[in-house]
Amino acid sequence: MKRQLRAWILTGALVLGALFFWLRQDARPPEAAGPPLLSSPEVVRAFRLLPPGAPALVLEREGAAFRLTAPVETAADGERVRTLLEQLCALGPGEAVERGEKPLSVFGLDPAAFELELTTDAGPLRLALGGESPFDGRSYLLVDGEGLLLVSSALRHRLDPRLLHWREKRVVTTPPEQLDLLHWKEGEVEIALEKLEAGWTVVDPAGGTSAPAGDLPRRALIRDLGELRAVAFEVEGPALPAADAEPEAVLSLGLRGEGGGRSQRRTLELFALAADGEPGVLLRGSELSPWVRLRPGALADLRERFGALRPAPEPAAPGPSD
């Protein structure tokens, strides 16, 4: 019995070793050298991102910048486009792998996760992003249906097809260092964070209580406000709520005037709804325009941050003993 078990173990080890060797062939770099995938970002005139089962995103160059032309026509996020093109320019023969006779399905390319069609000064270039290598987590990239590269999985995130990521971003609020009051109201929940002489203080108007603000929760909230500044863009059209619609929550900001002058109040109203077929948050009251769009999850994050600031309730006094 033990001899038979050892034979099975040895056979399994040999099978696994053979499988490992077969798969490992895709990780050997070829001997031939060649030019990089793109010589520079400037050679790209346009590109189309083709996610399976979703509308194509089309971006075209206008001078030094890019513009979205489908599925909507608006300015594109220049930083995201620049980062994507620079990553493609960094790819070259050093990332190439041998495909051999293996079918594309082995590399997660039948079908591909994303396809990217580029129009360059040298002609068209078609890329297909597949699955991840079982050895180092990098992703397979098929170039013009022939060459196969192993690339950083960061490229998968760069090609996220959600429209929100590709639209131009705008600043929404005043820089956090100018804040001296944050007031949150959502239904019956109301809480404020106020900067007093003694430092930041949490005030619960409903309970009439106040307490010093914890450093970590306060920093987390200010950081979230900083993220709000980084991800908003203008929206218009049927996605907007009615003029008399009630907001999900109201965020009031107190802003110090120049030279330490009197604080000014700005009120922002948040609405949770879908726009462009994607869940998100609409914000009314920005200094940029009547309406801006925030990333999905912004409302839930602010709700959680303000909730973490609320002072803990006082323990109930013990009742009289019998």
At 62-96, the pLDDT tens digits run 998 999 999 988 889 998 999 999 999 988 776 78
Sheet of 123-132: strand order equals: 74-75, 65-70, 57-62, 44-50, 114-120, 123-132, 139-143, 147-151
Please state the φ and ψ torsions of residue 137, each to the nearest 5 degrees. Answer: 80, 0
From CA 74, how far away is CA 276, in angstroms rounded? 13
Which has the closest alpha carbon to 47: 95, 115, 109?
A: 115
Write down the pLDDT at residue 62: 94
DSSP 47-59: EEEE-TTSPPEEE
**Contact, 92 vs 151, CB < 8 A?**
no
User: Which pLDDT value is given to residue 22?
Assistant: 45
pLDDT given for residue 19 in this prediction: 46
| Predicted pLDDT of residue 225 | 80
What residues in the chain have per-residue pLDDT under 50?
A: 19-33, 322
Model pLDDT, residue 129: 94
The model carries a pTM of: 0.61
Residue 24, pLDDT score: 47
Query: DSSP assignment, residue 71?
Result: S
Number of Cβ within 10 Å of residue 282's Cβ equals: 24
Q: CA 14 → CA 6, 17, 133, 146, distances in Å?
A: 12, 5, 22, 32
pLDDT at 125: 95
- Please report, for residues 195, 219, 225, 253, 267, the alpha-carbon distance to residue 177 in angstroms, rounded to integers and kept in the order given: 11, 11, 11, 12, 18
- Residues belonging to the chain: 322
The two structure tokens encoding residue 54? 């979703």
Does residue 111 have a cis peptide bond before it, meaning omega lies within 30 degrees of 0? yes
Q: Are 267 and 278 in contact (CB under 8 A)?
A: no
